[in-house]
Amino acid sequence: MSFTDLFRFYQKTDENHKKDLNAVFKPEGIAVVGASSKPGKIGYQILKNIIDCGYQGNIYPVNPNDAEVLGKKAYKTVEEIPEKVDVAVISIPAPLVIQTLEGCARKGIKAVAVITSGFAEVGNTDAEVQIKKIADKNNIALLGPNMFGYVYTPSKLNASFGPSDIRPGKIAFISQSGALAISLMGWTAMEKIGLASLVNLGNKSDIDEKDLIEYFNHDENVDAILIYMEGIKEGRKFLETEIKKPVVILKVGSSKRGAKAAASHTGSLSGSDKIYEGVFKQLGLLRASTFTQAFDWARAFSLPLPKGDETVIITNGGGIGVATTDECEAVGLSLLDDPIWLEEKFRKTMPDFGSTKNPVDITGQGGVVGYREAVKIALHEDKIKSVIVLYCETAVTDPMDIAKAMNEEYQAVHRNKPVVVAMVGGERTQAALHYLNDHHIPAFTEVSEAVSALKALYKWKEIANRKSEVVKIDPAPQEAIDMIEKIKSVGRTVLLEHEARKVLELCGVPTPKWGFARNIEEAVVKAKDMYPLAMKIASPEIIHKSDVGGVAVNIQNEEQLRTQYDKMMNKVSAAMPDANILGVNLIQMMKGIECIVGLSNDPQFGPVVMFGLGGVFVEALKDVSFRIVPFGKMEAGRLINDIKTAKILDGFRGIQADKASIVQTIYSIQKLAPLVKEIDINPLITNKDGSFAVDARIIL
Ligand code: COA
């Protein structure tokens, strides 16, 4: 791939921006093609849901055999409908979909939701390509096919064959899986989680996650977006998604077996999970690991963003307070630590034996008055930036009274800072939890859920405050391009060590002092200011150099160099008499932390860069993280801090990493993305003086 090709590849691929998603979510008229009078049929249920859920626009059943369906006049085709239709929900067998879609185009319909199965998911890709073509040609936004429909509560529109009891709210839930979305519709209603929208993407032959995220970015009815994803169809397109609101993503298929199941389920490719992880981080999506967690987080985004770090816990139980403190420490939420101030403010809210340390423990005796007072103080004091309220049910307190008092105080200050709640108890407590959730105060039965939800809000704040970065990767210098072209022209695909190091150096990757010498006299001259050094045999035929005696380390002076050189030549020519020996590589020995920086090509996302701790444990620990090319230096900084062992880089046994030069390395190797298949810099040794590509392998 040439530079021009690659940079075209980076350019915006989005062609859906012209498509009108208002026609999907805020239609004036909706047609149901395949609407049926027969209960149990999908076309019956969709029409019934649209009518029962109170959609106020015009509803047009389409059925060639019925004059009326569910009390509404039916039409033989969409073209017969005399008024304007914005969206058609299509629920007729697959072979009939194409002609219906053409009819929709002639009628000027701007959106369709194709419920019908039997397309790419069963190998019928031709039909799917055809419907996508018709949609593109006529500028129709196409949802599905193979979907269960969608819901948009601000329009009271339930165009699905799922349950009808959807709770209105401000979360938009986008699900690749239909069955799962249907089941979660009931669950969210039970859990008092309100939804603004629920969209099942199905095969996402046209409208996908990016289109919907960007639509909801501008929809005031949506506070947060939650996505259930099995795989991405167009990796590069997804990478261009503009993130303006918190997006929680639940991506399944991280195990090898899971990835296989997801691929066969959706017909889409599930790439390596670590690469997906990198994509989500690069875009600023919050990845949850369970449905509960995803919804816990999504709920938290109805809260205002915290203005600082200091969290206060208010509790009536010591144990639950300690458990919450542990959770806060585990996720990195910092508790306000100012005992004198806390004593002064909170003492009056509790009996003498209560504790004003954070957690503020108003004791089991603390009832509605104590809670009201403590919560009021926490809300009014600017020094406190977020609040976690805990409650253990006791016979002497009424959880509902406490929940109501909390809500009153919160409304009185116009929800000025984030408050999350965890309540443990029986039925009375459940009712109080529901009351709080109904009033948009995220309330949970587990303290870990409350802490995790609050942490998600802090994470989102960090993402929302990220400075935007103009990403511009310069092309590799001409000298490097010429070198690579020359190597290619003689049919070689692997660069020799000194060639690889030279190419990297030309692109701006820092290297230790090094030299290539064709004989011992050249080696002596080049080695002068390099000791201690390592010497390695240079031969295109010898890949595993140490196996044939082709590596000598810790050479301190000229005398040792001469001795080691002779030994090496004898050993190598004995082991591989036919090898073409070009000379030796001399590399200054470096001390520091061993890292690995790599570049490879992912089938979904194209060129990706990997960073991790290197050396002998790299394979076993797999503590590496990815980003997708191209990305800037700020993102490279985040990539470095992503790995689990990132703390080591801040200083370990007196050795400290030089993060700026690691960033420089990560930035620089991106210049080679259009020219190579793979780069492995292992190790990149980093110490306080810089980072040095000690060994490198480049495959074309
Ligand atoms: N225009 C409008 N209506 C038409 C039509 C046309 N061109 N051709 C037929 N119809 C009518 C039929 O007469 C029928 O009405 P009736 O019940 O009054 O007889 C209705 O449309 C449905 O057609 P039918 O042949 O009975 O199909 P079906 O209802 O058994 O199945 C689907 C249609 C779309 C539900 C089915 O093909 C399918 O894909 N099912 C899977 C859906 C799914 O699971 N999606 C993914 C969820 S995650």
Look at residue 15 in the predicted model and tell me its pLDDT: 53
- Asked whether 164 and 158 are in contact (CB, 8 A), the reply is yes
Distance 36 CA to ligand 1 centre (A): 8
Q: Which two tokens stand for residue 345?
A: 């403010």
Mean pLDDT by 10 residues, the chain (700 residues): 44 60 98 97 98 97 97 98 98 97 98 97 95 97 97 97 91 92 85 93 95 97 95 89 96 65 40 87 96 95 96 97 97 96 97 95 94 98 98 95 98 97 97 94 96 98 92 93 96 91 95 94 95 93 88 96 96 94 94 92 90 78 89 95 88 86 96 94 92 92
Distance 157 CA to ligand 1 centre (A): 21
Where do the H-state alpha helices sit in 53-115? 97-107
Question: How many angstroms separate the Cα of 70 from the Cα of each of 125, 141, 551?
Answer: 35, 27, 83
Choose one of 37, 63, 121, 151 to mutate for the ligand 1 pocket test, by most ligand atoms within 8 angstroms of C-beta.
Answer: 63
Atom of ligand 1 nearest to the CA of 177: 48
Give per-residue burial for 614-640: e unless 16+ CB within 10 Å, then b.
Answer: beeebeeeebbbbbbbbbbeebbeebb
Q: Which residues line ligand 1 (CB under 6 A)?
A: 33-34, 36-38, 41-43, 62-66, 91-93, 96, 100, 115-118, 146-148, 178-179, 200
Distance 34 CA to ligand 1 centre (A): 5
Q: Which two tokens stand for residue 298?
A: 């999504």
Look at residue 670 in the predicted model and tell me its pLDDT: 97
Question: From CA 328, how far away is CA 326, in angstroms rounded?
Answer: 5
Q: Which two tokens stand for residue 24?
A: 């999907």
Rg (C-alpha) for the chain, rounded Å, is 31
The β-bridge partners of 697 are 680
SS3 at position 667: helix
Chain centroid to Cα 606, Å, comes to 17
* Nearest partner of 28 among 57, 61, 60, judged by Cα: 57
Q: Which two tokens stand for residue 330?
A: 């585990």
Look at residue 178 in the predicted model and tell me its pLDDT: 87
- Asked whether 424 and 392 are in contact (CB, 8 A), the reply is yes
Residue 318: Cβ-neighbour burial (10 angstroms; 0-12, 13-18, 19+): middle
Helix (H) or strand (E) holding 169: strand 168-175
The β-bridge partners of 687 are 690
Distance 124 CA to ligand 1 centre (A): 18
- Which protein residue's CA is at the shortest distance from atom 19 of ligand 1? 36
- Taken in order of first residue, the domains within the chain and their CATH numbers are 22-245 (3.40.50.720), 311-439 (3.40.50.261), 513-588 (3.30.1490.20), 593-699 (3.30.470.20)
Choose one of 33, 37, 42 to mutate for the ligand 1 pocket test, by most ligand atoms within 8 angstroms of C-beta.
Answer: 42
To which residue do tokens 């890709």 refer? 125
Instruction: Give the E-state strand segments of 527-667 in sequence order.
Output: 533-538, 551-555, 583-588, 593-602, 606-613, 624-628
Helix (H) or strand (E) holding 297: helix 291-300
Distance 32 CA to ligand 1 centre (A): 11
Atom of ligand 1 nearest to the CA of 62: 2
Helix (H) or strand (E) holding 483: helix 478-489
To which residue do tokens 């095969």 refer? 203
Helix (H) or strand (E) holding 663: helix 659-669
β-pairing, 624-628 vs 593-602, is unpaired
Look at residue 265 in the predicted model and tell me its pLDDT: 39
Q: What is the 3-state secondary structure (H, E, C) of 182-238?
A: HHHHHHHHHCCCCEEEEEECCCCCCCCHHHHHHHHHCCCCCCEEEEEECCCCCHHHH
Q: What is the DSSP letter of 120?
A: G
Name every residue whose Cβ is closer than 8 Å to that of residue 330 and which is 6 or more positions away in sequence: none
Residue 594: Cβ-neighbour burial (10 angstroms; 0-12, 13-18, 19+): middle
SS3 at position 369: helix
Choose one of 36, 46, 92 to mutate for the ligand 1 pocket test, by most ligand atoms within 8 angstroms of C-beta.
Answer: 92
Q: Which two tokens stand for residue 650?
A: 């801040």
Q: Cis before residue 145, ω within 30 degrees of 0?
A: yes
β-pairing, 149-152 vs 224-229, is unpaired
Question: From CA 694, how far away is CA 700, in angstroms rounded?
Answer: 20
Determine how many CB atoms are found less than 10 A away from the CB of residue 586: 24
